[in-house]
């Protein structure tokens, strides 16, 4: 059987792309071995919660805000209006996959070995089979396959472990020059992890790669779109990717539906996500915070300056629609001077 669209990867980008395409009546198959444990802090950000419904099946804890630290300086931001949740990532992925299957998307539990675009179709070789589709969405995260097809080639190396201790109500970020550590509270334990731009930190835990550097140079091809982590859609400041994964998957589905009905071209995918995803502000923050002195001043200002604390809260929660990169550049340079 030849499918209209094959979606490679059953994380949020893949499941929501498959669900939307299946609901529009397209023959859709999700391809994923369904055997990988996702290493993820598991935070549904304020932006996600504002735009999408959440379900008690995967929510672990409602968060009050974020604690940001650098060396011995620490600051706490209490969310005034925003709502964020920590989630069970495996339960979240299972919930979204079941939603896609309920919409009549098919599931093939198999690992993709290679993807080849031809003039007529996309040929997908898996460990045990060969499938054909008119179009494909690559949503398999950071992988050799994604790298081969134009995905991210620069990563942060992350290690995360579970610690059985009483959790708090704040997501915690300990900033460093070449990465950061985090604590994500759950119902009855915490997930603690750390990242580095150099190599995996020498600590026990589950390992993962997070793309850095923003979206890749090209996210669309003749018959293939890159979504989620495979497209580099991860916030360069806090490393958050769930919202961008889901939304890029939905945009990919909508664009492919337009391509198959003759209403738009594959290049419209890049036009649409560029219009919605403005990483320029967070990129600027990340660049400025590469200096340790600026890092220390940044955290001190959050702690001591209420205006600046509100500014950073708006940056993290996307509450302000009027926040521009120039505002960020001006304020950060001002605290350094």
pLDDT at 335: 63
pTM summary value: 0.94
Per-residue three-class SS string for the chain: CEEEEEEECCCHHHHHHHHHHHHCCCCEEEECCCCCCCCCCCEECHHHHHHCCCCCCCEEEEECEEEEEECCEEEEEECCCCCEEEECHHHHHHHHHHHHHHCCCEEECCCEEEEEECCCCEEEEECCCEEEEEEEEECCCCCHHHHHCCCCCCEEEEEEEEECCCCCCEEEEEEECCEEEEEEECCCCEEEEEEECCCCCCCCCEEEEEECCCCCCCCECCCEEECHHHHCCCCCCCCCCHHHHHHHHHHHHHHHHHHHCCCCCCCHHHHHHHHHCCCHHHHHHHHHCCCHHHHHHHHHHHHHCHHHHHHHHHHHHCCCCCCCHHHHHHHHHHHHC
Model confidence at 194: pLDDT above 60: yes
- Average pLDDT over every residue of 195-216: 91
Contact criterion met (CB below 8 Å) for 288 and 332: yes
Model confidence at 196: pLDDT above 70: yes
Q: Summarize pLDDT for 318-335 with one digit per residue, the tens.
A: 876 666 655 666 666 666
Say what percent of the chain tops pLDDT 70.
94
Model confidence at 17: pLDDT above 80: yes
For the chain, the straight-line distance linking the first and the last C-alpha, in angstroms and rounded, comes to: 64
Phi, psi for residue 87 in degrees, rounded to 5:
-130, 160
Model confidence at 1: pLDDT above 70: yes
Partner residues linked to 155 by β-bridges: 211
pLDDT at 124: 98
pLDDT at 279: 78
Say what percent of the chain tops pLDDT 90.
73
Residues of the chain with CATH 3.50.50.60: 2-63+84-153+213-278
pLDDT at 291: 80
> In this predicted structure, which of 5-14, 189-198, 226-235, 287-296 has the lowest mean pLDDT?
287-296
- Average pLDDT over every residue of 61-75: 96
pLDDT at 25: 98
- Average pLDDT over every residue of 147-170: 94
- Average pLDDT over every residue of 47-58: 96
pLDDT at 73: 95
Q: Summarize pLDDT for 248-274 with one digit per residue, the tens.
A: 999 999 999 999 999 999 999 999 999
pLDDT at 324: 61
Q: Summarize pLDDT for 99-149 with one digit per residue, the tens.
A: 999 999 999 999 999 999 999 999 999 999 999 999 999 999 988 899 999
- Average pLDDT over every residue of 275-303: 81
Between 4 and 180, whose confidence is greater? 4
Categorize the per-residue pLDDT at 293 as very low, low, confident or very high, splitting at 50, 70 and 90: confident
Q: If you average pLDDT over every residue of the chain, what do you get?
A: 91
Tokens of 272: 């649409």
The CA distance from 36 to 256, in Å, is: 27
pLDDT at 281: 67
In this structure, CATH architecture of domain 2-63+84-153+213-278: 3-Layer(bba) Sandwich (3.50)
């Amino acid at each position: 059987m030849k499918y209209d669209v094959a979606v490679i990867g059953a994380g949020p980008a893949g499941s929501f792309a498959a669900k939307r395409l299946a609901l529009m009546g397209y023959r859709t198959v999700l391809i994923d071995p369904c055997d990988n444990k996702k290493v993820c802090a598991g935070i549904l950000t304020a932006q996600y919660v504002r735009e999408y419904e959440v379900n008690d099946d995967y929510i672990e804890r409602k968060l009050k805000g974020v604690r940001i630290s650098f060396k011995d300086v620490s600051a706490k931001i209490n969310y005034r209006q925003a709502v964020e949740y920590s989630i069970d990532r495996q339960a979240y992925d299972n919930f979204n996959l079941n939603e896609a299957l309920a919409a009549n998307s098919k599931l093939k539990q198999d690992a993709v070995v290679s993807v080849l675009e031809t003039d007529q179709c996309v040929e997908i070789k898996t460990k045990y089979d060969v499938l054909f589709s008119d179009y494909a969405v690559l949503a398999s995260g950071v992988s050799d396959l994604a790298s081969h097809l134009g995905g991210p080639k620069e990563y942060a190396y992350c290690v995360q472990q579970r610690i059985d201790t009483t959790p708090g109500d704040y997501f915690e970020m300990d900033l460093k020059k070449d990465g950061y550590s985090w604590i994500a509270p759950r119902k009855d334990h915490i997930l603690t992890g750390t990242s580095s731009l150099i190599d995996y930190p020498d600590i026990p835990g589950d390992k993962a790669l997070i793309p850095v550097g923003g979206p890749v140079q090209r996210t669309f091809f003749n018959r293939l779109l890159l979504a989620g982590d495979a497209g580099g859609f991860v916030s360069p400041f806090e490393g958050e990717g769930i919202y961008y994964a889901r939304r890029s998957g939905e945009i990919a589905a909508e664009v492919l539906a337009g391509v198959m009905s003759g209403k738009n071209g594959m290049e419209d995918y890049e036009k649409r996500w560029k219009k919605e995803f403005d990483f320029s502000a967070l990129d600027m923050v990340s660049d400025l915070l590469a200096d340790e002195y600026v890092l220390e001043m940044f955290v001190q200002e959050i702690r001591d300056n209420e205006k600046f604390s509100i500014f950073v809260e708006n940056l993290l929660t996307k509450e302000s629609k009027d926040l521009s990169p120039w505002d960020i550049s001006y304020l950060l340079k001002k605290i350094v001077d």
